[in-house]
Amino acid sequence: MKDKSFKIIKSSGEKADFSLSKLRRSLFSSGADELTVDNILNVVRDELYQCISTKEIYNRAFALLKKSKSIYASKYKLKKAIYELRPTGFPFEKFID
C-alpha cells in the first residue's frame, strides 16, 4: 500500500481521515479471526481513493466478509439493519439495553 493518508466522506457529509484501526475493530466485532481481518484490510486498503465514502468501504468489507464466512457478515451488518428500522434505530438500541 502507498504511504498516503486518505480522506473519506462520512455519512454526515463530513470529511475525515481514514482509520485502519477503526475498520479493524469493526471487523473483529463481527467475530472474524485475525487472518480474515488482515486479508480484508489489505484488499480494502489497496482499493482506497481520496474521498471514498464510508458506505463504499463498508460495502466492500461486507462483501469480503460474506465471501469468507457468512456468519461474520451477518454480525457485521447487524448495526446497519437496526438503523434501517428508522428513524435512527436508536430507540431499538435503547430498548435492547
Give me the phi and psi of 76, to 5 degrees please.
-65, -35
Residues 6+ apart with CB under 8 A from 8: 15, 16, 17, 18, 51, 52, 53, 54, 57
Q: 76 in helix, strand or coil?
A: helix
- What is the per-residue pLDDT for 3? 43
Spatial distance between the Cα atoms of 46 and 80, rounded to a whole number of angstroms: 24
pTM, entire model: 0.72
Q: Give me the sign of the Cα torsion angle 88, 92, 96, 97.
A: positive
Q: 32 in helix, strand or coil?
A: coil
pLDDT (tens digit, 0 to 9) for every residue of the chain, 97 residues total?
A: 444 689 999 988 999 999 999 999 989 988 899 999 999 999 999 999 999 999 999 999 999 998 987 777 777 776 666 666 666 555 656 666 5
Spatial distance between the Cα atoms of 8 and 33, rounded to a whole number of angstroms: 26
Give me the phi and psi of 52, to 5 degrees please.
-70, 145
